[in-house]
Amino acid sequence: MTLSGREIIGDTLRVLGADLELRVAPHLRDPDAMLTAKMIADLLAYLAMWHLEPSDTGAGAAADDTSEATAWASDIPVAGAIRGLRAAALQQAIEDAERPDPALLSVAVDLDSALYQSEAVAAPRIAVSAGERLAQVEVPVTAENARVFVDACLGDGHAIESVVRAPGGYSKDSFFLGVRTPAGTSVQVVVRRDLPFGPGETRVVAEYGLLKNLADRGLLIAEPLGCDPTGILGQPAMLSRRVAGSSGTSPWDGDPERRRDICLTLAGVLARLHAIAPAEIGLATVSGKPREQLCAHVLEWRDRWRRNRIHASPTLAAAFAWLLDNIPAEIDRVSIVHGDVGFHNMIVSDGRLVALLDWEFAHLGDPTEDLGYCRQFVEPLMPWADFLHGYRGAGGGGYREENARFFELWRGVRNAVCCSVSWRGFLSGAYPALKMAYQGIPLYRTFVHNTAKALKEKFQCETQAVAP
C-alpha cells in the first residue's frame, strides 16, 4: 500500500484529536486542563482537515460547485497552495486598483467566506469521523454483550455489575468485569480480546489452550475460565479470574528480603515452565532439534515483517541477516518460552509473586531467551548468580551468556516488527486506533534505533575478534 505524507499526517492528526476529545477530555476535572484540551482538540481538527480530502472531512458537502470562489475554497488539502495564490492575487488587485471594483470585491469576500464556512462544517466532523472509522472495526464492550460472553464461557445466569477497560493493551484489549454469579456471589474477572489487526498476529484461542495446560500443572498464572472463538465481543476473547495484587516493583523493591523471595519465586516458575516437555501438552516442535526450532521462529517473524512493512528498514534487514547467520551453536533443549518475562507482566500480592501474565509471545525455543530477558529486571534486585542458582535448584537447565547476547538483539527486532505490523493496521484502516499509530511512529523508531546500536556493537566485536 502507498500513502502520501499528507494522508499519513492527516490520519494521525485525526485520531489524536478524536482520542483527546472523546476519551481524555470527558475525564478531566480541572478547568484549566479542560480548556487546554479543548484548544488542542480544535487545533488538531483544523490541522487534520488541511491534510485530508474533502470527502474525508465533510468539507465537500458545504461547497457550491457553481461558484468559482467556493470551488477554490472547498479544495481544502491545497488551500495553502492554490487558494493562497488566488487570494494573494485578489488582494494585490484590490490594493493596486485606483478605485474599488464592486465585482472584484464581491469575489474576494466570497472566497474567504466560502472557505471559512466550509471549514466550520468540516472541522467538527474530524473527531466524529475518526470515531466512526474505529467503530466499524472495534466493538465496544457493554454490560449486555459482556453478559452474553460470560454466559457462553461459564453457563447461563450471570449479571454484569461493572465494565472497565484496562489501560494500555498494545497486543490485546483487556477489560475488568465485575460479575454476579447465579448463586449471587460477586467475582472479578478479566477479558482478553484479540485486536482487529496485529501486532504479533497471535490469537487468544491458542493462548487459552496453553494456559489451560499450564494451570493444570500448577504454574502461577491467572486461572483461565473460558474462551469464545466466535467473536461475541467483536473478536475472539478469553476469560480468566482476576488476580488481586499489583504489577511493577515499587511497592516492595525497598525491602531486600521480599525482593529476594519474589525473584527466587520467579526463578522457580521459569524452571518449572522450561522443564515441561512440549509434547506433554500437545505442542509439536519443528524437528526436535533446538537450533532448527529457533531458526524457524526467526524466519516466521521475518516473514511477518516482510508481509506487513510499510517503509524500508535496512537496519531490520541487517538484523535478520545477522540473526539467521548467528543462531547459537549450543541450545540445551526446546522449551516453552514466555517471551516477555518482566515485573510489568507479574502480579505481586502481600510480598508474594502470585501470577505471571500476558502470554501472547509464548512459543517453543531456547530457555535462555526468558532468562536473558528477565535479567535486566532481576539484577537490580538481587545478584544474578543467586537467581541462576535458584533456577537450577528448581530444575532449570543451563544459561549460556553467548545465547543471551543473541536474544538481546532479538528482543528489539521482534518488538520493532510488532510496531511495523501495528503501523500497517493503522494506515490501512484495518484498525485506526491511536495505540496503533503510537506503536508505528515513536515506539518503532525507538526499537529500530536500539537495534542499530546493538548491531554496531556486534560488528565491532566481530571485527576485533578477527583482527590479526
Whether the CA torsion 389, 392, 398, 399 is positive or negative: it is negative
pLDDT of residue 230: 97
Q: What is the CB-side half-sphere exposure of residue 372 using CA atoms within 13 A?
A: 22
- Looking at residues 42-62, what average pLDDT do you find? 71
Question: How far is Cα 392 from Cα 375, in angstroms, rounded to an integer?
Answer: 15
State the pTM of this model. Answer: 0.87
Q: What is the pLDDT of residues 306-351, one digit of tens each?
A: 999 998 999 999 999 999 999 999 998 999 999 999 999 999 999 9
Residue 449 has pLDDT above 60, yes or no: yes
State the DSSP code for 49.
H
Q: What is the mean pLDDT of the chain?
A: 89
Bridge partners (DSSP) of residue 356 are 346
pLDDT of residue 51: 82
- Looking at residues 28-38, what average pLDDT do you find? 93
| Domains of the chain from N-terminus onward | 5-133 (no CATH), 143-241 (3.30.200.20), 256-466 (3.90.1200.10)
Q: Please state the length of the chain.
A: 468
pLDDT of residue 105: 84
Bridge partners (DSSP) of residue 176 are 164, 190
Q: Which of 173, 69, 73, 60 minimizes the C-alpha distance to 122?
A: 60
Q: What is the pLDDT of residues 279-293, one digit of tens each?
A: 999 999 988 799 999
Residue 394 has pLDDT above 90, yes or no: yes
Choice between 3 and 388, residue whose per-residue pLDDT is larger: 388
Looking at the chain, the whole-number percentage of residues with pLDDT higher than 90 is 72
Q: How far is residue 19 CA from its own chain's centroid? A: 15
First to last CA, the chain: 48
Q: Name the residue with cell 524437528.
A: 287
